[in-house]
Amino acid sequence: MFESLTGRLGDVLGRLTKRGALTEADVTEALREVRVALLEADVALPVVKSFVKRVKTKAIGTEVLKSVNPAQMVIKVVHDQLVEMLGSEQQELNLVAVPPVVYMMVGLQGSGKTTSTAKIAKWLTEKQGKKVLMASLDVRRPAAQEQLKILGEQTGIATLPIIQGQMPVDIAKRAVQSAKLQGVDIVMLDTAGRLHVDESLMAEMDAVHKEAHPTETLLVVDSLTGQDAVNVAEQFKSRVDVTGIVLTRIDGDGRGGAALSMREVTGCPIKLLGTGEKLDALEAFHPDRIANRILGMGDIVSLVEKA
């Protein structure tokens, strides 16, 4: 349903190049197509606007106007700017703190927190040789604690025994205490899903954060999220010190524009990608990959180089 940006720009600029050199007005017209493509990819409107402005400055100031294939050049500038805004530096999980290091997972309902908790715990155990303890602070959703317990059994990672009726802050306290006693390196706190506009649940999250002092507070977001992603990220960030974003459902066919919005608005690095339901479907973040997806095409750089 989405037309790729290459197709779009190809049409506009192809028509224009027949006439000879491109003018500034031509680039402006091409950037209209870029704007629509980004909006269709769910990039938030304010972010689209600032993005287009930056690309325009670059495109007009540089080789684009004189280049042999301006369509490809515009795409390259767009792509490079996207990568830059997504954060070209790879940001790793922070493991350096006095053990037990606490990781706290937060996010909207159903975004993938519990699954990501188990995925990260598995990775830390198997690839980093860490001793991990997982604890579910979700006392709201039916069978949420049971879910994490089963994931613990599947991966062979310890979970904090469930005590019916205990509240989140107390569970967090117990998790950290028990981690100390057992010589655990990393405690992962899975929390209940909450809407960013739900004041009482946001306050609860804040209280857990104050109790547990997490080294990493990871905001887990569905890559299929629409324009509201900006508000979600801002609201969570305003309540707790979000240190990174985990973007889930990258295995879907969404364009993932929310990633750009959140990164731009909060400055929080995207640290990991969830690429499936299975517990090894976790990957490091590659801005290139998300940039190409937002633009709706394959490997653009090679495409540009071929041209």
Ligand X SMILES: Nc1nc2c(ncn2[C@@H]2O[C@H](COP(=O)(O)OP(=O)(O)OP(=O)(O)O)[C@@H](O)[C@H]2O)c(=O)[nH]1
In the list another protein, Mg ion, ligand X, none, the entry touching 143 (Cβ below 5 to 8 angstroms by class) is: another protein
In the list another protein, Mg ion, ligand X, none, the entry touching 307 (Cβ below 5 to 8 angstroms by class) is: none
41 binds another protein, rule: CB under 8 A: yes
114 binds ligand X, rule: CB under 6 A: yes
Shortest distance in whole angstroms from residue 246 CB to ligand X:
9
The answer to whether the beta carbons of residues 262 and 42 sit under 8 Å apart is no
* Shortest-Cβ-distance residue relative to ligand X: 193
Strand duo 282-284 + 270-274: pairing: antiparallel
The answer to whether the beta carbons of residues 183 and 216 sit under 8 Å apart is no
Q: What are phi and psi of 74, to 5 degrees?
A: -60, -45
User: Which DSSP symbol is given to 228?
Assistant: T
266 binds Mg ion, rule: CB under 5 A: no
Among 7, 11, 29, 39, binds another protein (CB under 8 A): 39
User: Which DSSP symbol is given to 226?
Assistant: -
193 binds ligand X, rule: CB under 6 A: yes
234 binds another protein, rule: CB under 8 A: no
Q: For residues 302 and 307, give the distance between their C-alpha atoms in angstroms, rounded to a whole number.
A: 9
Among 110, 161, 226, 298, binds ligand X (CB under 6 A): 110
Residue with Cβ nearer ligand X (56 or 140): 140
Among 114, 125, 266, 275, binds Mg ion (CB under 5 A): 114
Strand duo 244-248 + 216-222: pairing: parallel
Q: For residues 221 and 108, give the distance between their C-alpha atoms in angstroms, rounded to a whole number.
A: 7
* Shortest-Cβ-distance residue relative to Mg ion: 114
Q: Point out which span in 13-21, 92-100, 255-263, 282-290 binds another protein (CB under 8 A).
A: 255-263
Q: For residues 212 and 104, give the distance between their C-alpha atoms in angstroms, rounded to a whole number.
A: 8
**Cα–Cα nearest to 247, from 226, 222, 216:** 222
Site string for another protein, 211-230 (x = CB under 8 A): -----------x-xxxxxx-
Among 14, 61, 110, 298, binds another protein (CB under 8 A): 110
Structure tokens at 87: 């954060």
The secondary structure of 20-58, three-state, reads CCCCHHHHHHHHHHHHHHHHHCCCCHHHHHHHHHHHHHH
Residues of this chain that interact with another protein (CB under 8 A) are: 1, 36, 39-42, 44-45, 108-112, 140-144, 146-151, 154, 195, 197-198, 222, 224-229, 231-232, 249, 251-255, 257-258, 277
